[in-house]
Structure formats: C-alpha cells, structure tokens
Amino acid sequence: MQTVTLEIPDVIWESHQQNIGSVREEVRRGLVIWEYLNGRLTIGDCGEILKTGYRGFLELLWNRGIPADALNDDELEHQVSMLRKLADI
C-alpha cells in the first residue's frame, strides 16, 4: 500500500485537530468511493479495502446518498440474488 501526503486547509485542520484520524479515514473512504464510481473497483473490492465487507460498503453508499443505480450489471444481479435468498428464508 502506498502513502500519500495531503495539504489540508487550516480551517479543516483546526476543527479536526483533536481527531485527525477521522479526517484520514474520510479521505480514504472518499477515494475508494471515487474509484468505485469511476468503475475501477467493485463493491467487493471496496468492502475489502475499507474492511466493511460487501454489505458495509453498500450501506456506506446508501448513507452518502449514492443511488443503487450506480451499481453495474453484475453488482445489481448479485444484490437481486441476495434479496431472493432472504425472501426464501
């Protein structure tokens, strides 16, 4: 894994100085979401990178207001099959 150094505006640094780890995690999540939306990562890849799992990443997208139609065909098919399995229980 590579390390990147970012310059953070003073206003962000000042408001998050006590918990700079949260800024680091938000940037990390944002980059992973960006790569997913640009088609370079799958939901499974994103869940693995962020250590949230497939469902956890879907919940992250949902909480950020990213619609389900952002899913590619394979991911949408996977979601439908998961829902069908739940319906059979």
> pLDDT digit string (tens) for 8-37?
888 888 887 788 778 888 889 999 999 988
Name the average pLDDT for the chain: 83
Reported confidence tier of residue 71, pLDDT bands at 50, 70, 90 = low
- Spatial neighbors of 87 by CB under 8 A, at least 6 apart, are none
Report pTM.
Answer: 0.69
Q: CB within 8 A of 24, min separation 6: which ones?
A: none
pLDDT tier for residue 65 given thresholds of 50, 70 and 90: confident
Q: What is the average per-residue pLDDT within 50-71?
A: 85
